[in-house]
Amino acid sequence: MNAPDHRRLQKEAYEANKLEKRLRRLAGQAIADYAMIGAGDRIMVCLSGGKDSYGLLDLLMKLRTVAPVDFELVAVTLDQRHPGFPEHVLPEYLRALDIPFRIEVQDTHSIVKRVIPEGRTMCSLCSRLRRGVLYRVARELGATRIALGHHRDDILETFFLNLFFGGKLKAMPPKLVSDDGHHVVIRPLAYVRERDLTRYAEVRRFPIIPCDLCGSQENLQRKQVKAMLREWEKRHPGRVATIFRSLANATPSHLLDRALFDFAGLAATGIPSASGDRAFDPETFAAPRVPGDEQG
């Protein structure tokens, strides 16, 4: 090997190691901030075959070796019988990792094709059916947590989808109780950027399974929001990170939701308050941080 090639490989290895450390730190921070994992938890990691769920499993396995508490991991894949689904890929990958796993086969694809008219998006019904199956599997496995691979971009896109099209200030929480009331769902990648997961998947050479096997296209509204955020970040570096930080810095008294703040009972007390509104002063904002500073 000549000197230039050796230096290139050294640089690539350095960058890969740096990326892995950053992702481990961000996932660990999100887990700690939202108390996602406790001693003795049995975590069902939902593995779809996409870059995000591969990254989630990989990082949780690495974090488990250094975590201050013991927890179990079991990978679960739902084979929905999509035409062309390479059913051998995930079992082979998981056996090589020597991790407990379960492949759940449920032909939800045929149900969706039968119910949804041709040309209409199948994602909503498919998601509901998939969710029901995974909840059942979680009960059967005795899982105390269900881990999903949603990342920072997913959270921001969901926030703007609700804002623009749903009339709600609502995002995708890092931790929640499932709609059936029986499970705690966690998103350890909440602080991680999608582009970093894309790069990590390339570095780790995950055997990616295409996400369009069903023939359904990504939600058009979500694609529009994704493009908007990408353009904002291009024109105004750091804006997306600032928006994301704002989701963890809400002031209910300065919104309009009467269920979150008792406007009817509000009264002057004569006591100065740091959170009070300076009604006659112009609004001021801090200078934006250096782009990428939150990723370290």
pLDDT in tens, 99-113: 999 999 887 777 766
Residue 256's pLDDT band (cuts 50, 70, 90) = very high
pLDDT in tens, 46-73: 999 999 999 999 999 999 999 999 999 9
- How many whole angstroms separate alpha carbon 38 and alpha carbon 122? 36
- Sign of the C-alpha dihedral computed for residues 239, 14, 200 and 47 taken in this order: negative
- CB of 105 within 8 A of CB of 81? yes
Give the residue among 206, 198, 215, 223 at the shortest CA–CA distance from 47: 206
Specify burial of residue 46 (Cβ count, 10 A radius: 0-12, 13-18, 19+): buried
The single-letter DSSP state of residue 213 is T
Name the residue with higher pLDDT: 120 or 224. Answer: 224
The whole-number pLDDT of residue 247 equals 95
Pair of tokens at residue 282:
């112009």
* Contact partners, residue 190, CB within 8 Å, separation at least 6: 30, 34, 150, 151, 152, 155, 174
Residue 207's pLDDT band (cuts 50, 70, 90) = very high
Q: Which region holds residue 205: left if phi is over 0, alpha if psi is between -120 and 50, else beta?
A: left
Degrees (nearest 5) of the Cα angle 157, 159, 258? Answer: 175
When the pLDDT of each residue in the chain is averaged and rounded to a whole number, the result is 87
Considering the entire predicted model, what is its pTM? Answer: 0.87
Could you give the domains of the chain?
Answer: 10-219 (3.40.50.620)
The whole-number pLDDT of residue 275 equals 65
In the block, tokens 């570095």 appear at: 203
* Contact partners, residue 95, CB within 8 Å, separation at least 6: none
> DSSP labels for 84-151?
T--TTHHHHHHHHHT--EEEEE--HHHHHHHHSPTTS--HHHHHHHHHHHHHHHHHHHT-SEEE----
* Whether pLDDT at 290 is above 60: no
Give the residue among 87, 129, 124 at the shortest CA–CA distance from 110: 129
* Contact partners, residue 207, CB within 8 Å, separation at least 6: 49, 89, 90, 93
The full 3-state SS of 224-276, as one line of letters, equals: HHHHHHHHHHHHCCCHHHHHHHHCCCCCHHHCCCCCCCCCCCCCCCCCCCCCC
Pair of tokens at residue 284:
């001021």
* Contact partners, residue 260, CB within 8 Å, separation at least 6: 252
**72 three-state secondary structure:** strand
Residues in the chain: 296
* Whether pLDDT at 293 is above 90: no
Specify burial of residue 290 (Cβ count, 10 A radius: 0-12, 13-18, 19+): exposed
